[in-house]
Amino acid sequence: MLTRNQAAQMLATLDRVLILCHRNPDGDTLGSGFALCRAFLNQGKKARVFCNDPIPEKFGYLIPEQEDFVPLHVISVDVADPALLGPNTEKQLASLPPVELSIDHHPTHKQFAQALYLEADSASCCEIVRELLREMGWEIDKGIADCLYTGLATDTGCFKFSNTSPRTHRIAAEMIELGADHTRINKVMFDTVTFAELALEQLALEQMWMSDDHKIAVLTITTDMLRQTGASEAELDRITALTRKISGVEIGITIKQRGEADYKVSLRTGETVSAADICANFGGGGHARAAGCQFTLNDPVEIREKLVEAVYKTVGEEAGQ
Amino acid sequence: MLTRNQAAQMLATLDRVLILCHRNPDGDTLGSGFALCRAFLNQGKKARVFCNDPIPEKFGYLIPEQEDFVPLHVISVDVADPALLGPNTEKQLASLPPVELSIDHHPTHKQFAQALYLEADSASCCEIVRELLREMGWEIDKGIADCLYTGLATDTGCFKFSNTSPRTHRIAAEMIELGADHTRINKVMFDTVTFAELALEQLALEQMWMSDDHKIAVLTITTDMLRQTGASEAELDRITALTRKISGVEIGITIKQRGEADYKVSLRTGETVSAADICANFGGGGHARAAGCQFTLNDPVEIREKLVEAVYKTVGEEAGQ
């Protein structure tokens, strides 16, 4: 593991750099990637970002003009596991030098690059990029400030989640001073809901299942409901987050149909029971407060019953410890 | 208008202080009031907070043990207008010394106290209280940090709104360092929705009216709907905010019935037209992005039609300027 100074020194020497983001890109991997890309470009160097998947339209403002060139160096940002690079990125990498440096903030990081700079207690990867730029003495312009603010805000639920640290707030202050368009970014990231999302939420809430003690809430989203409302897979996040917000609910479960006899489950819990432990009953896993698993069953009611049984079993076991 | 130093010097001399909050209290008026109250108590002085209305349960953690005493001094926090003190507070004031000092951040402040300390560009009154405590050299303990964080977060939509400044973020960083329980506060303030709120949202969305161009969304909440769902007046905020979040909607209107032929309208706009200008057509007012007005009519459909007409008229006028 490199020190911050070593990572900064290494970055400062690079030119013709390809910066890799993780698949299904979010504001932090894109914010980190394009911030570094813009910083290289400002130094008169060549750099460009590559992601396995298309970049969602709402992140368009992050992207600078990027020239085409044959990369001499490859680095990655916010990629916790080589499996998260994705098949398109793997294909690119086949004809390129190996990944030289990984910059990441995931405590579960599986090292795949030649060198790693990890700050496992950082709320976002963008915070680390900010500290590296400081170490290199490279200036932050408005474009970079927009990128870094985006990662800070999106990885902390707009400074709402427990991972938000004093440093997160101080860097946000600095980015606003440097011109980050925080109002517009927050509006797009946090205050926009589509008709399809609202319609899907309506349908799902009409059929919400609650346990008698109102501590478990289960929403089921079928492919029929997606068709009916025109909502996309990407528009399910709002609903997944909704169950756990309901006053009194300790365990929020969303059962999403992906095909016939193919269901994906997202589970969110409060402070009383581990979501990962519940999902482990079905070969799934994740974090203490958010985890997932899959089922190859035909009937979502049967899946719900299995999950609820596992919840009570796990709550009992953890209470008995 | 006092300078910050003058206000701090004045505060520092007070004892036996009654601190007034505005009616329908929110996180900023209560956070400011109880932060100052706790700071006085820590100095061995007597202080207590008074509010016209009961303090919502979710703000219970702000309240310290407060002794009863006959006040010698009265100050107010976050009260923009004497009308916002409320009748119960007015009754109290009849047998008390006049309000000596108002601490506020509303640009529309109508002076009613003997002295005023106003920072009209501050996102929250709690930021001002923090600066005054700094000026006085009074320490901030965990209890005060919880109070001040609460006002910072609630008045900025958890650092999401345009009023959030670099100072807001820096004070938030400091409050977290001083022990503010930011995770729990944010969960209660921003990530909790009641069954009644969800049920009301369901009902309201089923009957949402949209203009043909999908730029105006109108939700109507009748007293019948409140009865049917068990939702209270205080649970309407989520819905008022919802209309403007819908992708593409520029003007979000919520028409709330308060009694027979008694409707209150909340209007939220994007950057294209002034909410205050639209409401001015009906004797109402407010801010550029959020304003309100009232109607003594029987039919909410008639109210909607009048509002929509005023929207197009105002958009036309402002486009012609």
Angle, alpha carbons A63-A64-A68 (nearest 5°): 105
Measured between beta carbons, which residues in chain B are less than 8 angstroms from residue A194? Answer: 246-247
What residue in B sits closest to A178 (Cα-Cα)? B166
**Predicted confidence band of residue B321 (pLDDT cuts 50, 70, 90):** low
Per-chain mean pLDDT for chain A: 94
Residue B80, pLDDT > 90, answer: yes
Q: Alpha helices, DSSP H only, in A137-181? A: 142-154, 166-177
Residue B175, pLDDT > 90, answer: yes
Name, in order, each residue with C-beta under 8 angstroms of A86's C-beta and a sequence gap of 6 or more: A22, A23, A51, A52, A53
Query: Strand B99-104 and strand B73-77: pairing?
Result: parallel
Looking at the complex, report in whole angstroms how far the Cα of residue B20 sits from the nearest Cα belonging to chain A.
Answer: 29
Cα(A239)–Cα(A256) distance, integer angstroms: 11
Q: Which of A130, A169, A190, A200 to mutate to test the interface with B (most CBs of B within 10 A)?
A: A169
Which residues of B touch chain A, with CB atoms under 8 Å apart? Answer: 158-162, 164-170, 172-174, 176-177, 182-183, 186, 190-195, 198, 202, 205-206, 242, 244-247
- Which pLDDT belongs to residue A1? 92
Q: What ipTM does the predicted assembly reach?
A: 0.88
**Predicted confidence band of residue B14 (pLDDT cuts 50, 70, 90):** very high
Residue predicted with more confidence, A196 or B33: B33
- Residue A142, SS3 per DSSP: helix
* Residue-wise pLDDT tens digits, B132-144: 999 999 999 999 9
Using alpha carbons, select from B224, B298, B228 the residue that is nearest to residue B263. Answer: B298
Per-chain mean pLDDT for chain B: 94
Q: Which of A130, A159, A181 to mutate to test the interface with B (most CBs of B within 10 A)?
A: A159
Residue A321, pLDDT > 80, answer: no
Residue predicted with more confidence, B125 or B288: B125
In chain B, the percentage of residues whose pLDDT exceeds 70 is 100
**Predicted confidence band of residue A108 (pLDDT cuts 50, 70, 90):** confident
Measured between beta carbons, which residues in chain B are less than 8 angstroms from residue A290? Answer: none
From B159, B198, B247, residue closest to A205, measured CB to CB: B198
Measured between beta carbons, which residues in chain A are less than 8 angstroms from residue B192? Answer: 245-247
Measured between beta carbons, which residues in chain A are less than 8 angstroms from residue B164? Answer: 176, 182
Mean pLDDT of A22-39: 96
- Which pLDDT belongs to residue B317? 86
Q: Alpha helices, DSSP H only, in A207-299? A: 223-229, 237-245, 275-280
Measured between beta carbons, which residues in chain A are less than 8 angstroms from residue B177? Answer: 166
What residue in A sits closest to B167 (Cα-Cα)? A173
* Residue-wise pLDDT tens digits, B207-241: 899 999 999 999 999 999 999 999 987 788 888 88
B173/A162 Cβ within 8 A: no
Mean pLDDT of B51-56: 95
Q: Which of B121, B159, B229, B249 to mutate to test the interface with A (most CBs of A within 10 A)?
A: B159
Looking at the complex, report in whole angstroms how far the Cα of residue B208 sits from the nearest Cα belonging to chain A.
Answer: 11
From B170, B190, B244, residue closest to A170, measured CB to CB: B170
- Enter the pTM of the model: 0.89
Q: Which of A152, A154, A160, A268 to mutate to test the interface with B (most CBs of B within 10 A)?
A: A160
- Which pLDDT belongs to residue B109? 92
**Predicted confidence band of residue B125 (pLDDT cuts 50, 70, 90):** very high
Mean pLDDT of A241-268: 91
Least confident of A159-163, A235-239, A244-248, A312-316: A235-239
DSSP state string for B127-182? HHHHHHHHHHT----HHHHHHHHHHHHHTTTTTTSTT--HHHHHHHHHHHHTT--H
Measured between beta carbons, which residues in chain B are less than 8 angstroms from residue A214? Answer: 195
- Which pLDDT belongs to residue A129? 98
- Residue A209, SS3 per DSSP: strand
Least confident of A5-9, A163-167, A203-207, A293-297: A203-207
Residue whose pair of structure tokens reads 């029971």 in the numeric block: A273
Helix, strand, coil shares of chain B as percentages rounded to 5? Answer: 45, 20, 35
* Residue-wise pLDDT tens digits, A123-174: 999 999 999 999 999 999 999 999 999 999 999 999 999 899 999 999 999 9
Asked if residue A282 lies in contact with residue A305, where contact means CB atoms within 8 angstroms, the answer is: no
Residue A226, pLDDT > 90, answer: yes
DSSP state string for A280-296? HTTT-EE-SSEEEEEE-
Measured between beta carbons, which residues in chain A are less than 8 angstroms from residue B181? Answer: none
Looking at the complex, report in whole angstroms how far the Cα of residue B178 sits from the nearest Cα belonging to chain A.
Answer: 10
Judged on CB neighbours under 10 Å (0-12, 13-18, 19+), B280 is middle
Mean pLDDT of A214-223: 94
A247/B192 Cβ within 8 A: yes
